[in-house]
Structure 1
């Protein structure tokens, strides 16, 4: 297994996983791929189940980029109804009142308090 790539950590809302796109077979292949990717040593995929209700940053899609060098800034990429924006701690986005570290704090809070592991039972248990 190749582990030289970046570490990737995803938290997906259950609605993203449950929305049917294509046929039943297509969904099955997507679930199998999600499970395979989640087994990679440098990838972690969690989900926030419907039962968790509303959680921090529920309505916001964002990606955070952390770099191994402490000199490099945390970078945030946000998507919303007004478009998209990329910003760092020094160059704050014009559409966001938050710093990238605020989004990182919210991410870790969701991971600790409401996110669950993506398992075969979770994906296929509701067929």
Structure 2
């Protein structure tokens, strides 16, 4: 799989930790052996970097006695990180962590939304209405953020090989009048049109479904290798940023939750009919 830097960076970090553990070294032992400061190795293993030197990765692979093929792969990732600048990097001051980069590399996106339409599916006017009422978005940043959102949508939905996007949207989100009736009418029509794409499945979870597996907690599963849990991450959004779950257990659990929530929702076809009736 061809991966851009955000996902490859995750892979790099995971592999370096694995190699250190297999070598039987603690962080303190490793940074002393390689001649670094404790903080440098801690930052590296925490993923707190945008660029990494190939020489640093080579040095770690040597003290970890890494297999030649593994070492070459990790060194190449480091070299690539010095050259590649994804589109979203210029907006790093106003983007939610690494989520945008991960989303742009995903091959499968499974999204459960409650109160609002998911960002990838929002129209410009809908997004503007949200931002104009937000206490966290300065007025002078609204236009920039709208441009970012539009670029984000294009980079995911309109790329040559778009990811499979499977979204379950609570009925509350499509009934909530964000921006007024005309804005919502346009937004719902946009959902209808997107649902006709072969790579987009949109299901509405009706009020009549009652209690359901997701239990009112929104989440997004980003898959980078089909149904393989090892190539996935669960993102739980918080007020300012969000956090990630990447253990096989959590990924499998959230995929089960998503599958059962899909079962409680209307089918893709019935959801499209529901949205059309809502807009009539």
Q: When the two structures are superposed, what TM-score results if normalisation uses the length of structure 1?
A: 0.79
Tell which deviates more after alignment, 33-42 or 53-62: 53-62
* Deviations, residues 38-73 of structure 1 (Å, cap 9, x unaligned): 111111000110000121123211000112264843
Runs (4+) of structure 1 exceeding 4 A deviation are 69-72, 80-83
Q: Alignment length, in residue pairs?
A: 118
Q: What corresponds to 2:204 in structure 1? A: 47
Residue pair 1:3, 1:42 contacting (<8 A) in 2 also: no
Distance 1:2 1:56, change over 3 A: same
Residue pair 1:3, 1:41 contacting (<8 A) in 2 also: no
Higher Rg? 2
Task: Give the distance between the partners of 1:78 and 1:9, measured in 2 at CA.
Answer: 16
Residue pair 2:225, 2:231 contacting (<8 A) in 1 also: no
Instruction: Say whether 1:67 aligns with 2:67.
Output: no
Q: What value does the CA root-mean-square deviation take over the aligned residues? A: 2.6
Distance 1:12 1:43, change over 3 A: same
Instruction: Say whether 1:31 aligns with 2:188.
Output: yes
* Deviations, residues 2-57 of structure 1 (Å, cap 9, x unaligned): 76111110001111111011221111101110001111111100011000012112
Distance 1:71 1:20, change over 3 A: closer
Distance 1:35 1:3, change over 3 A: farther
* Deviations, residues 79-125 of structure 1 (Å, cap 9, x unaligned): 257962112016xxxxxxx712101101011112x111322x41243
Residue pair 2:171, 2:206 contacting (<8 A) in 1 also: yes
Residue correspondence of structure 1 range 96-115 to structure 2 within 5 A: 99-112=250-263, 114-115=264-265
Residue correspondence of structure 1 range 69-84 to structure 2 within 5 A: 70=228, 72-80=230-238, 84=242
Tell which deviates more after alignment, 81-90 or 48-57: 81-90
Tell me which protein shows more strand as a share of its residues. Answer: 1
